[in-house]
Amino acid sequence: MTRTAEPAETARPGEPAEPSTYTRLIDLLDRSGCRYRMIHHAAEGRTDVASVLRGHPLQQAAKCLVLQVRTPGRGTRHALAVVPGDLRVDVDAVRDLLGGTRAGFASLERAERLTGCRSGSIVPFAFHPDLELIVDPELLESPRLYFNAARLDRSVALDTGDYFDLARPRVEPVAERPA
């Protein structure tokens, strides 16, 4: 179903006057003609709690984390790793995929700048040219994906095939089971 964009979260002081990630996401979904469902819920950024609020199995949640990888001769590269909600990001796997020597989670400030989202509301789309989107193949096994819509109080339910067609991610094994 097509939805019209709702007001985005209030911009922080000093942020550029450009469309919010929320607006960009909804515009992308509406323009594509894909069917999606907007879910309104209490503000929540933790994947496990948001999944309960949205009413779906944890493995159908698209957990999105920004990593930074130091690479010889190329400086620092950034990846948006997307894994099923019941798994963790394998930082070493992302490091190896990007040819890095060191990798870790990006700072909160850098992650929010690259994604245009507050922590806990990152979408599984890379709208910034310096952010490489890498999705674990296990996530694509679910028929439908759920993720926060660049807002802590809004989520999207989207057909996995439509997500893949729109996002065009690099698909690589970057998830691991929690210890």
> For 62-109, how does the pLDDT look when each residue is reduced to its tens digit (9 = 90+)?
999 999 999 998 899 999 999 999 999 999 999 999 999 999 999 999
* Contacting residues for 39 by C-beta, under 8 A, at least 6 apart: 54, 146, 154, 155, 156, 157
- pLDDT for residue 18: 60
Q: Summarize the confidence of residues 21-42 as an average pLDDT.
A: 96
Alpha-carbon torsion, ordered 60, 64, 70, 74, to 10 deg: 100
Q: What is the pTM of this model?
A: 0.88
**Residues whose CB falls within 8 Å of the CB of residue 120, separated by 6 or more in sequence, listed in order:** 44, 45, 46, 148, 152
pLDDT, one tens digit per residue, over 151-163 is 999 999 999 999 9
Return the structure tokens found at 121: 């509301």
